Amino acid sequence: MTRGVDLRDVLRVDPGRSARLGRLDPGRTFGHDRASAELATQANLVRLGDLQDRLWAESRRAVLVVLQGIDAAGKDGTINKVMEAFNPQGCPVTSFKVPSTEELAHDFLWRVHQHAPRKGEIGIFNRSHYEDVLVVRVHGIVPKRVWSKRYGEINDFERMLAASGTTIVKFFLQIDRDEQRQRFQARYDDPTRRWKFSMGDLDERKLWDDYQRAFEDALTKTSTPWAPWYVVPANHKWFRDLAVSSVLARTLDDLRPAYPPEPDLPAHLVIE
Ligand code: AMP
Ligand code: MG
């Protein structure tokens, strides 16, 4: 595949089709090279800034961006890079960690719903309700009869958000096992990044295949017309940034956010 294709079309998991992660190369770049991709990303960021400004001014609709991926897939890096386009006031980021006792005392969507973006905002989820069919499934934190119902519950929840004026875009950042190994090693070796590494990451890494199966099922069962998943090849950070910024820019473009009319003001006014 070559440059010029709409990345939205090639990266989307078509609703009803199964996401075959094993067949997708996390290193593919669709004919882009690094230099041209970085230029195109910068152009996307400018466009995104303008679109966010309009969305914020309009204050009628919200956008929810969900980021998932195995450890070291680049969720934090994507937020850093792509979200620099936005005015932080209109762009709350929520990182979902191990649930608190209070959160566990409620249904799994309770803590998530509270952070759904307000009208005018672009809300970013660094991890999300999908952890409840990923880590929770892989570690058997709840029985299968509980987590297996969650795909449908997630679809219903997202349908409700969409019907209430929230556009949902979900990105799965895909890296391969060797890329994760290199990134962990680099984290460990770099004193400014070692804090991000823990020995527990290596235990999780042993469960690689289980995680891939859980990701595949989540992508297959919850890519819907109202909340599609995009599988982003993320071995190359420059391609990942291009892909995420392109999909977001096209999605926001389609919303055609517009500055609100101001009917109460006179047609001409010179302020002295
Ligand atoms: P990090 O994103 O590296 O700061 O790590 C957050 C940790 O919280 C990850 O290990 C997640 O798997 C874990 N986590 C997030 N949501 C849940 C959840 N619902 N249940 C269990 N663990 C979770
Ligand atoms: Mg971590």
Residue type, 149: K
Q: Is 75 exposed, middle or buried (0-12, 13-18, 19+ CB in 10 A)?
A: buried
103-139 pLDDT, tens per residue? 999 999 999 999 999 999 999 999 999 999 999 999 9
Confidence of residue 83 (pLDDT cuts 50, 70, 90): confident
Task: Output the average pLDDT for the chain.
Answer: 96
| Domain boundaries, given as residue ranges, for the chain | 7-254
Domain 7-254 sits in CATH at 3.40.50.300
* Closest of 16, 27, 47 to residue 222, by C-alpha: 16
* 33-43: average pLDDT: 97
**By the 8 A CB rule, do 3 and 220 touch?**
no
* 219-237: average pLDDT: 98
* C-alpha–C-alpha distance, residues 62 and 120, integer Å: 5
Q: Whose CA is nearest to atom 20 of ligand 1?
A: 98
pLDDT of residue 141: 98
- pLDDT above 90 covers a percentage of the chain that reads 95
How many Å lie between the centroid of ligand 2 and the Cα of residue 52?
A: 29
**By the 8 A CB rule, do 130 and 154 touch?**
yes
- State the distance between the two ends of the chain, measured CA to CA, in whole angstroms: 59
**By the 8 A CB rule, do 111 and 99 touch?**
yes
User: pLDDT at residue 35 above 50?
Assistant: yes
Confidence of residue 184 (pLDDT cuts 50, 70, 90): very high
pLDDT of residue 1: 46
> Which residue of 101, 135, 207, 211 sits with most ligand 1 atoms within 8 Å of its CB, as the best mutation to test the pocket?
135
User: pLDDT at residue 3 above 90?
Assistant: no
**By the 8 A CB rule, do 27 and 233 touch?**
yes
DSSP 227: B
Q: What is the pTM of this model?
A: 0.97
Which residues form the pocket of ligand 1, taking CB atoms under 6 Å from any ligand atom? 96-99, 127, 131-132, 135-136
pLDDT of residue 263: 78
How many Å lie between the centroid of ligand 1 and the Cα of residue 96?
A: 6
Q: Whose CA is nearest to atom 3 of ligand 1?
A: 71
In sequence order, the β-bridge partners of residue 229 are 170
Q: Whose CA is nearest to atom 21 of ligand 1?
A: 98
* Closest of 142, 111, 94, 133 to residue 220, by C-alpha: 133
* 18-36: average pLDDT: 96
**By the 8 A CB rule, do 223 and 13 touch?**
yes
Output phi, psi for 62, to 5 deg.
-120, 160
